C-alpha cells in the first residue's frame, strides 16, 4: 500500500492533482484545502496518502498532514460518510477545527459542508465523540462544559452558560467563554462573575 508520495506537481484538476514521481504520474484526489496548499506545477510536493482498493479501481487520496489523513479514515467509519463527503468536510474544516467541533458537539460547524445535512452532522459528532483523536489544543474544561458532562458542572457554571445562550450566543461559544472564565476566576466563582467575564471573552 502507498502511504506517502514525494514528487513534482505535474498538473491540477478540480478535485485532484497529478504528482510526477520519477516519471510516473499518480492521480491523487485531495480536499480543496489541500489543493490550495500545494505549490505550482513544476515544484516539489509531499503528500500523505490513503490507498483505497476496489474491485474496479485503485484510488489514491492525498493529504497535507498525517492528522488530516487520520480524520479522513475516521470520518468514513460513520454510516453515510464516504470518501467524497469526508474530503468535503476536510475542505471546510481543518483537523484542528474538526477536532474542536467533535469535542464541543458542534453540529452546525460540520453541517456547513455542502452535502452534509443536520442529521448526518449529528451522527458524526455523536459517533466520533469517543473515537476521535486526542482533542489536542481543546481545553478539557471547554470540552466538558460543551458536552453531556455539562450537567455535572457546578450550578453557577451551568447557570452562566444558560444565561449566555439566552442572550443569543451559541452553546459552543457560550461554553468556551465560561470555560475561559473558570480558568481565570476559579471553579468557585459566582454566576454573575462568570457571566461578566464571559461577555468580555465573547466581545474580544
Query: 3-state class of 81 per DSSP?
Result: coil
Domain that includes residue 88, residue range = 66-128
pTM exceeds 0.75, yes or no: no
In a domain, residue 52? The reply is: yes
CA-angle at 128, arms to 123 and 129, nearest 5°? 105
Q: What is the pLDDT tens value at each position of the chain, 204 positions in all?
A: 788 999 999 999 999 999 999 999 999 999 998 999 999 999 999 999 999 998 888 999 999 988 889 889 999 999 999 999 999 999 998 887 787 788 777 888 899 999 899 999 999 988 887 766 544 445 555 555 554 445 557 788 888 888 988 888 777 677 777 877 887 888 788 999 989 988 987 776
* CATH code for the domain of 104: 1.10.150.20
Taking 3-state DSSP, the helix, strand and coil percentages for the chain, each rounded to the nearest 5, stand at: 50, 20, 30
Backbone dihedral region for residue 80 (phi beyond 0: left; psi -120 to 50: alpha; all else: beta): left
Query: 3-state class of 202 per DSSP?
Result: helix
Q: Which three cell numbers stand for residue 144?
A: 466538558
Shared domain check, 192 and 144: yes
Amino acid at each position: 500500500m502507498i502511504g506517502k508520495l514525494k514528487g513534482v506537481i505535474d498538473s491540477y484538476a478540480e478535485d485532484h492533482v497529478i504528482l510526477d514521481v520519477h516519471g510516473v504520474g499518480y492521480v491523487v484526489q485531495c480536499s480543496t484545502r489541500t489543493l490550495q496548499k500545494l505549490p505550482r506545477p513544476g515544484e516539489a510536493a509531499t503528500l500523505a496518502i490513503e490507498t483505497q482498493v476496489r474491485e474496479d479501481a485503485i484510488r489514491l487520496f492525498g493529504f497535507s498532514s498525517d492528522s488530516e489523513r487520520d480524520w479522513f479514515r475516521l470520518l468514513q467509519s460513520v454510516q453515510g460518510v464516504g470518501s467524497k463527503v469526508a474530503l468535503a468536510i476536510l475542505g471546510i474544516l481543518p483537523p484542528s477545527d474538526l477536532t474542536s467541533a467533535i469535542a464541543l458537539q458542534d453540529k452546525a460547524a460540520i453541517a456547513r459542508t455542502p452535502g452534509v445535512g443536520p442529521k448526518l452532522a449529528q451522527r458524526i459528532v455523536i459517533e466520533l465523540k469517543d473515537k476521535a483523536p486526542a482533542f489536542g489544543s481543546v481545553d478539557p474544561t471547554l470540552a466538558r462544559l460543551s458536552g453531556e458532562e455539562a450537567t455535572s458542572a457546578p450550578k453557577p457554571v451551568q447557570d452562566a452558560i444558560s444565561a449566555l445562550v439566552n442572550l443569543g450566543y451559541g452553546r459552543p461559544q457560550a461554553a468556551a467563554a465560561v470555560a475561559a472564565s473558570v480558568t481565570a476566576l476559579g471553579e468557585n466563582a459566582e454566576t454573575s462573575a462568570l457571566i461578566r467575564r464571559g461577555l468580555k471573552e465573547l466581545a474580544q
